[in-house]
Structure 1
């Protein structure tokens, strides 16, 4: 490499409050973004991300914060685990894309410092009052019961594409600012049957949602979008709250469910034929046994699950179903017909501590976003 080219690569191309971002860093962050398969223009995303990292690091340094080696190693391992890889395996995968280990390490270090700074700066202000927790508990159905209207985006995430799907849906979530944005994203990206209804689900009793998802939904206001929800079975989801509705009867959550599943073919024509046969012949779960006689042995599965053992993708799918109603989910080898045969219900357990923590986390995220905007507005970026 000539002296001129080397200077251009390692020389400053952007300065943030006098701190340089080099051409090498930009090139590395672009490659990192491409390795994660994030949507959008990699050059633009790399520039914005590095500017934000400089602002975060400067603010952390001003507060006297340092990320220790053990903390960084743990952060690397946590990030790699999202792709079901060890740190060493993830670094080797990045190397195949031309990404240096230092690029990954710098990315994780910035995230750790920012998380610590936000907690230190805003932790006391993010506390929630007992009254706020009580309101959330009331919506949870401890006294009055509640239903929620959700819109959903379901993204396929088979194991071999998991890291790309996670990067894509995380980036997509950041871009969803309104109901119109969410509806447009449903049309473009969602693979669920609900896409034919703009992603909208029927009103769902909060007590019928999987416990962790119900608690997450309780911390959201109408119009807000959930964190990414792994559904299992090779799918990821985003949910947008469209409204809450209280009822006068005490909600009684599901504690067990009798569920039947029947894989449809990956071949669209065969799957369509099976759907037609199901529509004509199946009224209750027991009817499925007759249909199953014409299918490979073991295709039909029927099981009574304790609520905590229901696979996440199935639990979400049946949340707005009545007994003997059915829907479809995405499976690893094609669509799967799911039928709710029966529910067993009981009263809600106390989830006060979990709801309080989620309310705090949501408030911290809001403070962090606003603080970063303030830092950027006050910065000199050239």
Structure 2
């Protein structure tokens, strides 16, 4: 599920419980068919109750849609001959329950106390286990992550400031016994409206029980390290002007609105490592003619000719190790652009091959370099604070591609399915 909850929040909801849905007539009557597989009203009510416990939006339409998607997942598994074994299902049940700090048996018992039948939990997990098998068999073999994609993502992370302070507004809706679902519904409605700062402030003044309500929920700047660890990733994933999904805590449902954030760059993030080429020419005019003909780094060897090509000097150096005149010329150049440095009695043709953050260059163990050990690269990389390895970045990109492919395939299954109501 996309909505990520802490184990504490799930466990607290299970203990406190929430409002029971109204039991309708014809409880086991089908409400919708998906490829001739029925979803009953009872299943919808059970899923709605299950979603309430997980802290997800829990209206009837959302629960029905979730069940439709599960039927499509099981249909895809059936088409591929995938079956969920008892052992596979039990592993899935244990893994999901562990998110709430429980065993599968404990989680099932807690669900029963809150009005959710064990079969509803088992069906939910079975669809998830089957869908993962579908993704592995059908989609993952088609996915690939290139080195260029890894470089681009690592460069983005290196050049993105690390958030260390946030400016938040809060909205805390109390949940007295018996009113938990009403509070969650209100919080979901506020979050779904995607309010701007003024609208969030108006909602906080109307609904919040916090002392900040009179100020529209506005808080002062707070250091990220002073916030609970479980809350930090939720907030750092917000952009300015965005609101969190409802967060359940004992006795309340909480919303946060990000008004602003501040951060600092990693040490060494501004330092660059450049790969470039130089070729000394007898005069500025000859250098200018050669530079005008050169279209890339590799092309310099061709344009210089067989006699001059061995004199081409190609190297990788940090900025502070490059001679000043050459470094100044490279500063305004793009990749594969050629220029000249005129010394009066001679001139250098200079071609920039690439530039990248020093931290990225250091992280690439296989980067070839002709620079000497004391060229300054090490000094440019004093601390790789928080930089993931290439394998971690590759895995993250791969997972994002897999999620996107899975969503696209699920949409395709839905478009091709026969969905009808009785």
Query: How does the TM-score come out when normalised to structure 1?
Result: 0.51
Please tell me whether the aligned partners of residues 168 and 220 of structure 2 are also in contact (alpha carbons under 8 angstroms): yes
Q: Distance in 1 between matches of 2:253 and 2:410?
A: 31
**Cα RMSD between the aligned structures?**
5.6
Q: What is the CA distance between 1:222 and its match in structure 2? A: 10
Distance 1:235 1:131, change over 3 A: farther
Where does the alignment leave 5 or more consecutive residues of structure 2 unmatched? 1-22, 271-381
Equivalent residue for 2:44?
26
Instruction: Say whether 1:56 aligns with 2:73.
Output: yes
Match of 2:82 among 44, 65, 82: 65
Where does 1:260-271 land on structure 2 (aligned, <5 Å)? none
> CA deviation digits over 1:199-225, x for unaligned, max 9?
9999x99xxxx9xx89x979x999999
Distance 1:97 1:348, change over 3 A: closer
Q: Which has the larger radius of gyration?
A: 2
Q: What is the CA distance between 1:134 and its match in structure 2? A: 0.8
Q: Distance in 1 between matches of 2:416 and 2:409?
A: 11
Equivalent residue for 2:388?
351
SS at match of 1:251: coil
Instruction: Say whether 1:39 aligns with 2:57.
Output: yes
Q: What is the CA distance between 1:370 and its match in structure 2? A: 2.1
Q: Distance in 2 between matches of 1:239 and 1:66?
A: 44
Q: What is the CA distance between 1:107 and its match in structure 2? A: 0.4
Deviates more, 1:122-131 or 1:72-81: 122-131
Q: What is the CA distance between 1:150 and its match in structure 2? A: 8.0
Equivalent residue for 1:74?
91
Equivalent residue for 2:412?
374
Distance 1:39 1:146, change over 3 A: closer
Distance 1:227 1:105, change over 3 A: same
Please tell me whether the aligned partners of residues 17 and 380 of structure 1 are also in contact (alpha carbons under 8 angstroms): yes
Q: Distance in 1 between matches of 2:419 and 2:83?
A: 24
Please tell me whether the aligned partners of residues 268 and 383 of structure 2 are also in contact (alpha carbons under 8 angstroms): no
Equivalent residue for 1:111?
128
Please tell me whether the aligned partners of residues 170 and 217 of structure 2 are also in contact (alpha carbons under 8 angstroms): no
Distance 1:240 1:33, change over 3 A: same
Residue correspondences, number? 272
Q: Distance in 2 between matches of 1:187 and 1:130?
A: 47
Q: What is the CA distance between 1:238 and its match in structure 2? A: 8.7
Q: Distance in 1 between matches of 2:397 and 2:239?
A: 11
> CA deviation digits over 1:207-263, x for unaligned, max 9?
xxx9xx89x979x99999999999xxx9999999999999797239xxxxxxxxxxx
Match of 1:140 among 150, 153, 157: 157
Q: Distance in 2 between matches of 1:128 and 1:186?
A: 46
Instruction: Say whether 1:14 aligns with 2:52.
Output: no
Where does the alignment leave 5 or more consecutive residues of structure 1 unmatched? 253-344
Query: How does the TM-score come out when normalised to structure 2?
Result: 0.47
SS at match of 1:13: strand
Please tell me whether the aligned partners of residues 239 and 258 of structure 2 are also in contact (alpha carbons under 8 angstroms): no
Distance 1:66 1:348, change over 3 A: same
Q: What is the CA distance between 1:122 and its match in structure 2? A: 2.1
Q: What is the CA distance between 1:36 and its match in structure 2? A: 3.3
Q: Distance in 1 between matches of 2:85 and 2:202?
A: 42
Equivalent residue for 1:305?
none
Q: Distance in 1 between matches of 2:67 and 2:193?
A: 23
Distance 1:68 1:366, change over 3 A: same
Between structures 1 and 2, the one with greater helix share: 1
Q: Distance in 2 between matches of 1:199 and 1:74?
A: 44
Q: Distance in 1 between matches of 2:142 and 2:406?
A: 12
